[in-house]
Structure 1
Amino acid sequence: MARLIFATLGAIFFMCWAKIGTATVYTVGDTSGWDAGVDYSSWTSGKTFAVGDSLAFNYGPGAHTVNEVSANDYQSCSTSNYLSTDSSGSTTITLKTAGTHYFVCGVPGHCVGGMKLAVTVGGTSSSSGSSATPSTPSTTTGYHYSAASKTQIPAAVAGLLIIMGRLL
């Protein structure tokens, strides 16, 4: 009986890790990063973004910001009603919902100069049947990294580890 429990828990554990290991981290602007003079419309061309994928914005600390904004604020380059903001120099945003997500630089003149990004996110992981190739060869294990957060283990995996520990 114990072997059956361990086999079942092991299979569930493996499936959880296999599923969360399929997300892709896209480095915004590739080697140019989040900076003035990059054509972000061209950068998104040919990429398929999915729920669970992440956008890694790399820029000089304090030189730029990453502001997630509404569609209207994206069009007008307004950051007065931003959804989230960061100016740490290394911002990673996990795409948690399907739909179009809008990002702008909040430094005066930068958004108007082209520092804005719109990504349309599909409902499933990009590596499940998609032909998209990540802009960098890195992948994520489903964790959200940012300057302000620590590594977080998905709750399902943590629960399985607790159950397995109690059975030992």
Structure 2
Amino acid sequence: MGVLEIILRVSFVAMFIKLAMATNHIVGGPNGGWDTSSDLQTWASSQQFSVGDNLIFNYPPNHDVVEVTKPDYDSCQQTNPIQSYNDGATTITLTSQGKRYFICGTIGHCNQGMKVEIDTLATQISPASPAPAAESPSISDSPIISIIPSAAPEESISSPAESPDSKSPLFEPNMESPTFSPVIPSTEFLAPSSPLAQHSQDVSASSTEKGNLQAFISIVLSFVVVFIAFF
């Protein structure tokens, strides 16, 4: 892409931006117009005119618009006009910076106040101009550091002392206590021993005693026999 093409494109974009930002000023409006009854000087002082803006003159056939120099403006003379219009709906684009002067060419109308001075500024002042590059960043542009502690994660490793499921041998006693069964006294009574069983026990005891006695006697007799045999 050539340099000339770049310049042309930039110029086209700049012109398009100017046209998009241009303001249409209805002369004498909104409660007046291009006539002898409107306070055109007060209206002009309340406006801000920039390069690219448009002046719109609306008027009936008994009026016209004549652009003049500063001396002719002050003396209401139209003998050497810069430009004149009589179409009833005149639009004049402010193409350069500086002051421009307009009067009505009908005899006596300029002296009755039908004249306006337009002071055109070089550029239109944007209501929201960008901040300079050297300006320190505002608080809203800086990263926000949160001082509020973040919530703990739902799934965290809990300590043995805090976990309801963990069992610590130091703090959890053995809950299994011995089970005591109530002792119910027996209502059953032992049947008394029968005389027959008692007699059998006595006979058995007597037989045992007799056997022991016989064994003792046999031992004594053996000692006696041995003793006689040696002597």
TM-score range, shorter chain: 0.5 to 0.7
> How many percent identity over aligned positions?
40
SS of equivalent to 2:126: coil
Larger radius of gyration: 2
Matches of 1:85 and 1:45 in 2, distance apart?
23
Q: Could you tell me whether the CA contact under 8 Å between 1:48 and 1:130 is conserved in 2? A: no
Match of 2:96 in 1: 97
Taking the TM superposition and a 5 Å limit, the aligned residue runs for 1:4-83 are 16-31=15-30, 32-60=32-60, 62-83=61-82
Query: Relative contact order, CA 8 A, sep 6+: which one is greater?
Result: 1
Distance, in Å, in 2 between the alignment partners of 1:83 and 1:20 is 25
Greater percentage in strand: 1
Shift of 1:74: 0.2
Contact kept in structure 2, 1:54 and 1:93, CA below 8 Å: yes
Structure 1 residue 93, shift from structure 2 partner: 0.5
> What do the CA deviations read for 1:1-55 (whole angstroms, capped 9, x no partner)?
xxxxxxxx99987665333200101000114210111111110123111111110
Is the contact between residue 49 and residue 118 of structure 2 (CA under 8 Å) also seen in structure 1?
Answer: yes
* Counterpart in the other structure of 1:129: 126
- Give the residue type in structure 1 aligned to 2:53: D
Structure 1 vs Structure 2 CA RMSD: 2.4
Unaligned runs of 5+ in 2: 1-7, 129-231
- Residue 57 of structure 1: how far off its partner (Å): 0.3
Number of aligned positions between the proteins: 121
Distance 1:130 1:112, change over 3 A: farther
Q: Deviations over 1:85-125 (max 9, x none)?
A: 0111100100111111000000000000000000111111x
TM-score between both structures, scaled by the size of structure 2: 0.48
The answer to whether the 8 A contact 2:18-2:52 is kept is no
Which residue number corresponds to residue 154 of structure 1?
A: none
Mean alpha-carbon deviation: is it higher for 86-95 or for 13-22?
13-22
Distance 1:122 1:111, change over 3 A: same
Counterpart position of 1:160: none
Matches within 5 A, 1:132-143: none
Provide the C-alpha distance between the structure 2 equivalents of 1:68 and 1:92, rounded to a whole number of angstroms: 13
Secondary structure at the aligned position of 2:99 is classed as strand
TM-score, normalization by structure 1: 0.65
Identify unmatched segments of 5+ residues in structure 1.
1-8, 132-168
